[in-house]
């Protein structure tokens, strides 16, 4: 990768680590203390991150317009400033209304700084090397919870949860906003009134491609996020004791990171569509294993298959649109895809938690399997519309 691309990857990786680790993921650590202070049960506290994702979903289609008017670097810097302000509101919240309003503000900030804008910016900067650069970004960003959960826990024990959020707000102002402003000039995103057109495809086929793409990645995202907060309960229901379930769930993150690393290392040999289809097969296989088996052996096999699949899919969500939507069309497509994807992310945890608590693991696993198979069908249909070169390794990647 060229030096400007390496610098951009480093800057965006840092802001994504801080961005996710100090906003959406912080509730996992600070949630109990927050709830006690504002008078909300933990379940209601965890509704805050859901609000954040829903706001991001509906605000994301407006991202290209903001980037066109102000430039992506300035848009992301402004988002960092807004994230700092939202964290200060959250830190000072004493009533449920203010607490939930702060999460809505974090959703607006996240629209400008989290995942989608970073991917759009990096794709524009990296050009033909976008897939490899995005793979590195996703690999590093996957460490956000591993880094910031212990930091949040240590700060809470030392200075309290409100002061911890003030420290995190300072990180957005002192680190993230300046890093965003160091990004090289990024060509404007697609015009505000424009819609993404698929590579070499007419409008009807382009619309069909977008629908297939949105359906496939949203279904896979629904599954991967659905079990993210319920793995321990799922493993206990399949015969593990508490300690074994916690250990197995913790190992999932390591497997996912390893899968991202493998995808990055082999980025010159396959493309986003190939990766997504292969990951979809592994995802369905892992669900079948846990449906027909119980005990430690079944859970270990599930962790390996499911973890590899969801780790690869996290990268594929960023790179798959590159197969069909080049240049400015990629920016517009990514912004529009963020709507169904963030809605799937927001709905999945409470849906799967309700299924597990109300009906047990069987129904939850069957629904997940049905969704994974439906996603595979959509991906295979999408393959028929892929440009010929999409079936080959990405051009220029071998030397990136």
Contact assessment for residue 312 and residue 275, using Cβ atoms and an 8 Å cutoff: yes
The pLDDT value recorded for residue 71 is 87
Segment 319-343 shows an average pLDDT of 81
The pLDDT value recorded for residue 397 is 38
Percentage of the residues of the chain whose pLDDT score is greater than 90: 39
Q: How confident is the model at residue 252 (pLDDT cuts 50, 70, 90)?
A: confident
Query: Is 70 found in the same domain as 133?
Result: yes
Query: Is 383 found in the same domain as 270?
Result: yes
Query: Is 39 found in the same domain as 128?
Result: yes
Segment 344-356 shows an average pLDDT of 83
Query: Is 124 found in the same domain as 263?
Result: no
The CA distances from residue 75 to 63, 81, 101, 133, 166, in Å, are 9, 10, 22, 21, 22
Q: Quick check: helix, strand or coil at residue 184?
A: coil
Query: What mean pLDDT, rounded, does the chain reach?
Result: 84
264 pLDDT above the threshold of 70:
no
Task: Kindly state whether residue 399 falls inside one of the protein's structural domains.
Answer: no
Q: How confident is the model at residue 246 (pLDDT cuts 50, 70, 90)?
A: confident
Domain that holds residue 336: 203-391
Phi/psi of residue 362, nearest 5 degrees: -55, -55
3-state secondary structure 217-256: HHHHHHHHHHCCCCHHHHHHHCCCCHHHHHHHHHHHHHHH
Count of other CB atoms within 10 angstroms of residue 170: 13
Closest CA relative to residue 70, chosen from 201, 148, 181, 159: 181
Query: Is 376 found in the same domain as 249?
Result: yes
Joined tokens for residue 59: 């605000």
Q: How confident is the model at residue 198 (pLDDT cuts 50, 70, 90)?
A: low
- Distance between CA 310 and CA 317 in Å, rounded? 10
- Distance between CA 180 and CA 112 in Å, rounded? 11
Q: Is 184 left (phi over 0), alpha (psi -120 to 50) or beta?
A: beta
Task: Kindly state whether residue 39 falls inside one of the protein's structural domains.
Answer: yes
331 pLDDT above the threshold of 70:
yes
Q: SS3 helix, strand, coil % of the chain, rounded to 5?
A: 85, 0, 15
Contact assessment for residue 367 and residue 238, using Cβ atoms and an 8 Å cutoff: no
Segment 51-55 shows an average pLDDT of 93
Task: Kindly state whether residue 195 falls inside one of the protein's structural domains.
Answer: no
Based on the structure, what is the number of domains in the chain? 2
Task: Kindly state whether residue 193 falls inside one of the protein's structural domains.
Answer: no
Q: How confident is the model at residue 300 (pLDDT cuts 50, 70, 90)?
A: very high
Residue in the block written with tokens 């963030």: 342
pTM over 0.85: no
The pLDDT value recorded for residue 267 is 55
Query: Is 117 found in the same domain as 23?
Result: yes
Query: Is 215 found in the same domain as 164?
Result: no
Query: Is 208 found in the same domain as 76?
Result: no
The pLDDT value recorded for residue 111 is 94
Task: Kindly state whether residue 400 falls inside one of the protein's structural domains.
Answer: no
Q: Which of 148-157, 240-249, 343-352 has the highest mean pLDDT?
A: 148-157
Question: Would you tell me the crossing angle of helices 161-171 and 144-159 to the nearest 10 degrees?
Answer: 130
166 pLDDT above the threshold of 90:
yes
Segment 200-221 shows an average pLDDT of 78
Contact assessment for residue 275 and residue 263, using Cβ atoms and an 8 Å cutoff: yes
Query: Is 133 found in the same domain as 100?
Result: yes
Count of other CB atoms within 10 angstroms of residue 7: 16
Name the DSSP class of 173.
Answer: I
Q: How confident is the model at residue 229 (pLDDT cuts 50, 70, 90)?
A: low
Q: How confident is the model at residue 191 (pLDDT cuts 50, 70, 90)?
A: very low
Joined tokens for residue 305: 């298959």
CATH code at position 281: 1.20.1250.20
Segment 156-167 shows an average pLDDT of 96
- Distance between CA 302 and CA 21 in Å, rounded? 27
- Distance between CA 167 and CA 88 in Å, rounded? 9
The CA distances from residue 367 to 69, 126, 211, 291, 353, in Å, are 43, 39, 21, 11, 13
Joined tokens for residue 51: 């609000």
Q: How confident is the model at residue 106 (pLDDT cuts 50, 70, 90)?
A: very high
Q: How confident is the model at residue 218 (pLDDT cuts 50, 70, 90)?
A: very high
Query: Is 167 found in the same domain as 58?
Result: yes
Query: Is 120 found in the same domain as 45?
Result: yes
Query: Is 141 found in the same domain as 95?
Result: yes
193 pLDDT above the threshold of 50:
no
Contact assessment for residue 316 and residue 276, using Cβ atoms and an 8 Å cutoff: yes
């Amino acid at each position: 990768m060229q030096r400007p691309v390496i610098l951009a990857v480093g800057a965006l990786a840092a802001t994504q680590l801080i961005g996710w680790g100090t906003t959406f993921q912080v509730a996992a650590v600070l949630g109990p203390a927050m709830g006690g202070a504002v008078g909300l049960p933990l379940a209601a506290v965890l509704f805050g991150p859901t609000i954040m994702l829903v706001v991001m979903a509906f605000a994301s289609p407006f991202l290209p317009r903001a980037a066109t008017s102000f430039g992506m670097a300035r848009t992301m810097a402004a988002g960092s400033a807004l994230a700092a302000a939202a964290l200060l509101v959250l830190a000072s919240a004493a009533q449920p209304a203010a607490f939930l309003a702060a999460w809505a503000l974090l959703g607006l900030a996240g629209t400008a700084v989290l995942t989608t804008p970073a991917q759009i910016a990096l794709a524009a900067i990296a050009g033909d090397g976008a897939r490899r650069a995005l793979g590195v970004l996703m690999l590093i960003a996957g460490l956000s919870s591993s880094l910031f959960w212990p930091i949040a826990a240590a700060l809470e024990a030392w200075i309290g949860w409100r002061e911890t959020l003030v420290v995190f707000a300072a990180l957005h102002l002192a680190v993230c906003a300046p890093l965003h402003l160091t990004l090289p000039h990024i060509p404007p995103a697609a015009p505000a009134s424009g819609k993404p057109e698929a590579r070499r495809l007419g409008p009807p086929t382009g619309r069909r491609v977008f629908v297939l793409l949105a359906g496939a990645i949203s279904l896979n995202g629904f599954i991967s996020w659905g079990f993210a907060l319920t793995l321990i309960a799922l493993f206990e229901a399949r015969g593990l004791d508490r300690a074994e379930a916690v250990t197995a769930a913790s190992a999932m993150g390591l497997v996912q990171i390893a899968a991202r690393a493998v995808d990055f290392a082999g980025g010159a040999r396959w493309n986003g569509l190939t990766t997504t289809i292969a990951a979809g097969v592994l995802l369905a296989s892992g669900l079948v294993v846990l449906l027909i088996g119980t005990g430690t052996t079944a859970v270990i096999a599930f962790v390996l298959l499911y973890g590899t699949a969801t780790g690869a899919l996290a990268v594929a969500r960023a790179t798959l649109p590159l197969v069909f939507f080049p240049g400015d069309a990629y920016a517009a497509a990514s912004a529009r895809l963020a709507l169904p994807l963030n809605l799937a992310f927001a709905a999945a945890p409470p849906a799967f938690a309700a299924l597990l608590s109300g009906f047990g693991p069987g129904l939850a696993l069957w629904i997940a399997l049905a969704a994974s198979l439906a996603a595979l069908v959509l991906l295979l249909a999408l393959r028929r519309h892929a440009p010929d070169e999409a079936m080959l390794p990405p051009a220029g990647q071998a030397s990136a």
